[in-house]
Structure 1
């Protein structure tokens, strides 16, 4: 179990870029590696594929690391190579770039890639996960989300959307406004908190997907999202109020459970519960998020977890807003009663 609590803000931000086959990841990466956008970005690619290297290659500093004319560097990785070892090579050249993008396979769940950044102390101390960004093909994603062969089974297209901190609907020129609106509504059913953008030909404002602190967002932004999820429900002293949301009829196994408590948590008990719960349910617990009120601490805490990887850290001092706990669990086969009982046992009588 890795509990991620970075203390150093001078870390290399890492973006996990995912998206189902044909979503446009290669087009976006070509844009990043060839346009003069002023950013120094290192891109880790599984293979050469269709990345446009030859016309912009400046020099090869190591066997698989190339520098582009616009200052970006590209690292081509055989799928059999260890991502951790590749990251160590990049970290040794960290003066050459300001951000790392890792592209996953179109058929991959991005969360195991994310956990790669927390299994090695050197990599964990030098990097910080910025966001999981998912590209969606506006015209064809529907057939993947509603794949009857995968009915009731793990669906990579669904998993990629559920795991995202930011979702880019690409190829919007191939879909009508009505279709795009329907797609956004369906995406919002799968992921209620990720920001949604539109793009054509993989062109997107890089400031909207990089350096966004999507994995550990600010209190103000995250609390607003959680309030939107759960705001229609009342509060009870020491009780968890909230709701279950069925993400999509085509994959009824994916649900979310939200909870609100108006008592503070005992931090050691809560951490122990989360480690045990996510350790046991890691494969099916996609995302866990929360704004937490901790007994005896004037700061609110932000909880973010991907599978069994937990990020729980204090943020800023509480302001004039009401102190309360809000949590959302997203996964398969969630047991609301078990979660509510476990969380309830972590509440503190001490304010």
Structure 2
């Protein structure tokens, strides 16, 4: 991290010198969270009960839907609509993750997409892995980031009462849902010690959740194939997709950010968030899911892709899998 801070110490933008300064309170918080994570992993081996580790692991992935289906696909991109019970559930889950309030998260994500890999990108991948992963949170933002934040239309979130409520009460909700609730459950239900529960259910859980989310900004902007647009940094990462509930199909997502699936693939195995949204659509809580036609995807991949799409979508380009042959093998039943 400190290499990242030193490397980006001086930049020239618009004729003025930009000197990022370390936000010491934020840096101290990150050191505490990550150091406590390592200590929590140690406690998981030597003294904590197995149920406490299981609880922390389950909470990481359950709350993760608040990021993926909530702050990202719903509130940042409006790729589908949700009735108030689902929005309230997603706000609850998102608050457990501790990743600021919904409004701030969505604002920075919209800026990231609109000005990706420019000085206005909050976690500009051009500034290196460590900056895009975590350094952007502990450095003062580039002036272009601050100026572009003011230009992004956030009127839809200004009009959402659940987003407004979560933003207004965020400090109290963070304390209750990100710290007290996860730590209290093991202590109350299976008599875990407060010490073990705090470091496992707060530090370790919180740190792993953060780094899974960070990996979309770093790993998925640097390593992998670019089947839909070879000229941009975001890439397809199956490892990030597995860990981040389907958010690693990042080349597709930056090309088609309005698609609620964030992927061309329909397999829930590597995109559990799509399954989550589809489940609630069957209940009538999610609706108006936006997606991209296969024809549009095909045209974009042919024109701009790096040629890797046939390996990303099994069967594409295989003459035995063409529509005419499939119609012969599986004739329509009249």
- Give the TM-score taking structure 2 as reference length: 0.26
Q: Which has the higher strand share?
A: 1
Of structures 1 and 2, the one with the larger relative CO (CA 8 A, separation 6+) is 2
Give 1 or 2 for the bigger CA radius of gyration: 2
- Give the TM-score taking structure 1 as reference length: 0.25
Q: Which has the higher helix share?
A: 2
